[in-house]
Structures are given as C-alpha cells and as structure tokens.
Structure 1
Amino acid sequence: MRVGIIGLGFRLGYLGNVFAEMDPDFQIVGYVDPDPAGMDRLVEGGIPAGTSYATPEELIASEQMDLLMIGSPNHMHLDHIRLGLEAGLTVFSEKPIVMTMEQSYALAELLHQYGHDRLLVGLVLRYSPLYKDLRQAQADGRLGDVVSIEASEHIQPYHGAFFMRDWRRYEKYAGGFMLEKCCHDLDLYNGVVGARPRFVASFGGRKSFTPTNAPETAGINDLEVYHRKPSGWLGSDKVFDSDGDIVDFQTAIVEYENGASMTFHTNLNVPDEFRRFCVIGAKGMAEGDFVRGFLDVHRAHDNAKVIANTYQAPSDKSQHYGADEQMAEDVMRHIKDGAPLPVSALDALEAGILAMAMDEARLTRKVVDLEPVWARFDAALHGTADGVSHAAPSLTAV
C-alpha cells in the first residue's frame, strides 16, 4: 500500500510503524512537514519516509497513492482533506477532522459532493476489543434501551503537562480539549446511545496547571515527570505558567434526542488515571475501563453478572489498548477489499459538534440547544444548504 503523509507528527510516526507491521507492502512514498516530529519514530522502525515535499499540492501531483494520511494541526485538516478529495484520493484524517462549526458545515458539503466512502477517520477507540464487546452486549439485548451514561477520560500529570507545552495548548490551532482529546470518547457514547445530542451544559477551567501549583512552589524537586512526553511544533518548557488557553478539567451534561442522558468528566492531572464508563439500560448495566482493562455487564432484574471480561494490550509499545493494530488492519482491508469500517466521517463530525457545544456551554454558562445546528448541518450534508439562513447563529443557548 502506497501512502503519502501531510503532517508527519508523533501520531503518524507511530501509526507508520503499526501499519508497516500489519502489511509488509506498506510504503510511505512522500510527506509534507517542515519539522517532522514523527520522523525519529519511523527511523527507529526502519521505515523510509519517502520524498520530502514543500507543499501538499506537490506531493499529490508527484506520487501515486492508495491512501493520503493527514496528521497536520487540527486547524489545517479541512484544507488538506479537501485537496485529497478533489484529487480523487482516499483520505485518512486524524481526529478531530475539523475544528469549528463552520468547518463542520463545509466538510458536510464536501461529503455530499464526493461521497462518504473516501474519507476515513482516526477515531481509533471504535476498533478496541472492549468497545466491540460492549456493542455486542448491547446488540444481544443485555442492556435494553439506554437510559443514562456516566463516562470520563482522565490522564496522568505527565500527559496533562504535554498539553500545556504542545501546540495543542492553543484553541486557535487545536480547538478545545473536549474536541482535541475527548472526541474519541464522545463518539463512542454517541454510538451507544444511537441518537444525536440535543441539549448540552458544561463547566470547567484550569485549576491544576497554575503558577500556585508549580513544583518549585510546592517544594517538589522532581520536574522530569512534567517533561517526559516531548512536545512538537510550537513546543514550550512552560507547564504551570503556560501561555495556552486550554482547560485542565471539564464536566458536561448531555441530553440526547431520544431522551437518554450522559455526564462526562475530563481531568488532566489524575495520578492513577482511568477512562471508564457506566452505561445503564432498562434491562442491564455495562461498566468498563479502557485503562484498567475490564468490562462487566450485570442483568437488572436479579443483579447477576453475565459478562466479566478483562483486556490487555498486545505489547508494551501498543497505544490505545490494542485498537491501533486493529484499525491498521481494518483500514488496509477496506482499501484493498472494500471491507466495512466501524466508524465514519459522519460519526466524527457529530462527535466534534458535541465537543464544540460543550465548550460553548462552558464559555456562556448556558444550556446549548443543538437543534438549529443539526438543521443547518443536514442541509449541507444533503445538498440543500442554500435553503438555510447562513446568518443564523452556529449554536443556540437557552
């Protein structure tokens, strides 16, 4: 499989190794990145990065590719996706695929124009064994109608410090933390509910990574933990006095169009991290944790535990609990044989819109009603956008 890369950052440097392990014919033919932070990872894996090109246009014009992979900063994704689709390529974009509501509408129009099948997305947790088992338990009727969900994504201080130092600390390049990091999780639970979010409320800010909590102030001499994960483009050494505008904690409440509800909590300074969920249905309950590796399902009427699964990543080098390996295998089968994928560009857009609504609710301290957003989005998606007033607000607070 011949692959071109726009934005050879840490993520695509890692995925290059994963794809190469899954397919001996995997070949990177060229890349575009003025400062490829992921190059060292490719070199360590013995994987040539191909020819360096100055612009995406030069790469696309010069190389024959089976797949164009996009790992550029989030604010560039839409332009790079558009270039790939216009060139007739199959495109894989890392999450989030777009960064703003206007970009969401624009990408919906592109999907209408070029179809959905040529845009693949890196929402990798959809490929995880734990999530597959959760959805199978749901399909088997063990949960019944989903009533409510409690979920979280928490990361350790070394990882939170990375966000304070990396380009992702700036919302103008990354979007909010819910979009940049938690769109994975929001996508999962949108899928479980099986309906779009309608009303959203949220609160959060920055209380851990502040000057008053700096290790020097607290009498801690070990600073290595906060610099363990290297930063890339626009990297900084500042952690507790970061100039970014990213939050380090946030809580949100969501009501879906079918009446189900969810609470979601994220925090960037959790020493014993976890990424858990509790899905409660009319007939049963599913509780799991991607980090701690378990899925338990209980039956409602007699409290019986009917599923008790545990999970372990395939190797110490594996990220995302083994899901990357499955994603690479499935993406290659999709490109070669047309095999179906468990997540779509539409799923990614809907998760992104929910994340943006969470930040809108946090900033305005109001409940956001997504009904007008979905109306405009669907008009763009189905090619009837001219009938929708573009003067209408992107998000409506009630």
Structure 2
Amino acid sequence: MTRTIHYGLIGCGMMGQEHLHNIALLDGTRVSAIFEPDGEMAQAAQAIAPEATMVASVQDLLAVEDLDCLVIASPNHLHVDQIDQIARTRPLPLLVEKPLFTDPGDAARLEVLQHSYHQPIWVAMEYRYMPPIAALISEVQATGGVKMLSIREHRFPFLEKVGDWNRFNRNTGGTFVEKCCHFFDLMRLILQSDPVRVTASGGQAVNHLDESYAGEVPDILDHGYVIVEFASGARAMLELCMFAEGSRYQEEISVIGPEAKIEALVPGPGRFWPDHLGEPPVPQVIVSPRDQKGPVVKDIPVDPTLLAAGDHNGSTFYQHQGFLAMLRGEKPQPDVTLQDGLWAVRMGLAAQQSIETGETVRLGAPAR
C-alpha cells in the first residue's frame, strides 16, 4: 500500500486554497497542518481541509511531527525569510509559489542557500502545466527551431488580497515580477537559452489610481511591453494589459521558426466568463506550417473537475502531480529548480528597471 504523504501549508489565501483543492484530488495525500494568520482565510482553509491542524506560526508548523513536505503560498515578500527559517529549523522538500523573491538583495541569499539546502525546492510556475501551453511545448520541434516567441496577456486587474499587499511594488517586486515571472520562465523553457538583454516600456494608466491605503496610492504597473534577447540569438516579447478582461482569450502565445508557427490560446478563469455568453471558450493550439499552408486547429479541453479546483486551467493539479511523484522517488528532481526561479525574477526585475530608467538592462549568468 502506498504511504500517505503529509503536507504543511504556509499561507492559505486565494492561491493557498487552490493548492488545498488540488492536493485533495491526489490519491495518498493529506494536509496535516496549516499556518494562515488571517482569520477569514484560515476559516476558509479549514473548511477545505478539515483534517488539518491550524497553527499560529511557521515555527509551530515546523514542530508538527507528521510532515513530509511544505507548500509556501504566503505573500511574495515573505518567501525568502520563511525559506531561511525552514532551512535553519527543519529542511523539508518545498513547493514555493512564484515569485521566489522580490528584493534584488535576496538573490545572493538564495544562491548560497541552494548549496546548503539538501532537500528539493520546486518553484511553482503553474503556466508550464496548462494543457494548451504544454501542448504547444510538445509541438515546438515542428517550428524547425524557435527564432521568435511572443506572449500576450490581456486580463483583469490585480484581485484584492489580504492586507492589500499586492498593491505596492515593495511587496510584489513590481508587476513584471509578481504577475509575469512565469512568462519569463516559459521563455527560457521554450527557447532553452538564457537571456542577455531586456528592454521594456510600461506604466500605470488605469488601475488602482482611485484607491488609497493608509494615505498611499498603489504604485503597481498595469500595462507594458518587454523585449528579451537570448544567448541563442532568439528573441521574445511579452505584451501585458491588465484592463482587458473583455478578451475572449486571456493568453495568446506564439512560437515561430523557419518551418512553422505554433500558437496556444488560453482562456481566463471560467468563473469570470459572463453567463450570457454561454460556455467559456475552449483552449486551442494552432499549428501553421509554411509549406502545405493551412492552419491545423486543435481543441485542448480541460477536465471540468480540474477547472473547478482553481483558476489556472488545471495546471495546479498537474504541477502537484509532478511534485508528488518527486516526493515518492518517481521523479529525480524538481521540474522548476531554484535556478529557474532566480532567473524568472531577475528577468522581471530587469523589466521593471528598464521601465524606470528607459534603458536596456544586460543580464549575466547568476552565481551557481
């Protein structure tokens, strides 16, 4: 009989609750302990995982004997201190929500930690696992070698979070870190190369300008363009608009090489699709070869059970499926390593810097 794997969760706001729903779909798993300091979120988490013990701190969580791994879904700016506390107290396998860090000064702490932390750290980059994006990645060889990659995200504004932490750059690392680091991760994954130059233009034109928190107006950006050049010679572009929730598809990704163009069309969360429009759109992948012209359109439906368990097109389930396989020794290492998480944030920080200064930012390899 397969041994039950026991999880501890740090942070159970919207994303933490999505993790709870998806862990519950996996056989042989149990959420044994949860740390969530907000009373309302803790109550919601307890309703999803009634068997879990609610604790008052990270330290109390680490004292729970019956734990095999931890999931960190706390606000972005808390991740590094919490990882450090876990490293010093009780290193366990970790699944850490993106972004891995927000303060540029914390990169060095993580680079040191990766050599001393002798358990796997998996960075949660859900977009890799969205069925239409996974299907696009599986078709990439049909391009004959990707030379251009573009990602367009037209979506809704930032949602309300506990304590409104996501309204300010100091807590999020900036929109192109908080919201977009998983797109930069996709760029590196698809192109199999590291970035060398980042140029960006963006601003705050519409969202949150009429809000005030303790007398402070939010400073997070709501739109922009980012161009990334890679060591391989390939180029990638990100187009972000966070006041375009009327779009049929939330993400449109295209990869182009000398032999074909491949696109993935990804709808946003089904709960935001208006009832009067009928059923939400089905994700698609479109393969457009250069010879024998004629796009081939493939619907990529997602299991309704997985759609009901979160806002990410079933990807959180598939991510947890892989994480569990690693915990059981069926997978040798994380799909998304600490280095992947570091690179994704560095690219986002470079985009933020380029927007602020108006200059191209050059990137070198991080320390290993």
TM-score > 0.5, shorter chain as reference: yes
Structure 1 segment 1-398 matched on structure 2, within 5 A: 1-23=5-27, 25-45=28-48, 47-53=50-56, 55-86=57-88, 87-115=90-118, 118-138=120-140, 141-156=141-156, 159-160=157-158, 162=160, 166-209=164-207, 243-273=217-247, 274-291=250-267, 292=281, 293-306=283-296, 308-315=298-305, 316-317=307-308, 318-340=310-332, 341-371=334-364, 374=365, 377-378=366-367, 381=368
> Cα 1:37–1:148, aligned 2, differ >3 Å: closer, same or farther?
farther
How far 1:2 moved relative to its partner? 1.5
Distance across 1 between alignment mates of 2:46 and 2:158: 27
How far 1:238 moved relative to its partner? 5.3
Distance across 2 between alignment mates of 1:119 and 1:363: 32
Q: Count how many residue pairs are aligned between Structure 1 and Structure 2.
A: 343
RMSD: 2.4
What TM-score, normalized to structure 2? 0.85
Structure 1 unaligned regions, length at least 5: 215-236, 382-398
Distance across 2 between alignment mates of 1:353 and 1:37: 34
Distance across 2 between alignment mates of 1:251 and 1:165: 29
How far 1:110 moved relative to its partner? 1.1
Distance across 2 between alignment mates of 1:41 and 1:27: 17
* Partner SS state of residue 150, structure 1: strand
How far 1:107 moved relative to its partner? 0.8
User: Percent identical across equivalent pairs?
Assistant: 24
CA deviation profile, 1:42-76 (whole Å, cap 9, x unmatched): 344353331312x3223213433111111121111
Distance across 2 between alignment mates of 1:124 and 1:368: 27
> Cα 1:47–1:163, aligned 2, differ >3 Å: closer, same or farther?
closer
How far 1:313 moved relative to its partner? 4.9
C-alpha contact (below 8 Å) 2:284/2:297 kept by paired residues: no
How far 1:285 moved relative to its partner? 0.7
What TM-score, normalized to structure 1? 0.79
* Partner SS state of residue 22, structure 1: coil
- Give the letter aligned to residue 179 of structure 1: V
What is the match of residue 390 of structure 1? none
CA deviation profile, 1:214-246 (whole Å, cap 9, x unmatched): 7xxxxxxxxxxxxxxxxxxxxxx759x972110
* Larger CA deviation: 353-362 vs 337-346: 337-346
> Cα 1:30–1:308, aligned 2, differ >3 Å: closer, same or farther?
closer
Structure 2 unaligned regions, length at least 5: 268-280
Distance across 2 between alignment mates of 1:37 and 1:268: 27
What is the match of residue 273 of structure 2? none
Structure 1 runs (4+) greater than 6 angstroms displaced: none
C-alpha contact (below 8 Å) 2:122/2:337 kept by paired residues: yes
> Cα 1:161–1:242, aligned 2, differ >3 Å: closer, same or farther?
farther
> Cα 1:85–1:314, aligned 2, differ >3 Å: closer, same or farther?
farther
- Give the letter aligned to residue 327 of structure 2: I
* Partner SS state of residue 238, structure 2: strand
CA deviation profile, 1:122-148 (whole Å, cap 9, x unmatched): 11111222222222212xx30112111
What is the match of residue 272 of structure 2? none
Distance across 1 between alignment mates of 2:71 and 2:147: 38
How far 1:39 moved relative to its partner? 2.8
> Cα 1:244–1:179, aligned 2, differ >3 Å: closer, same or farther?
same
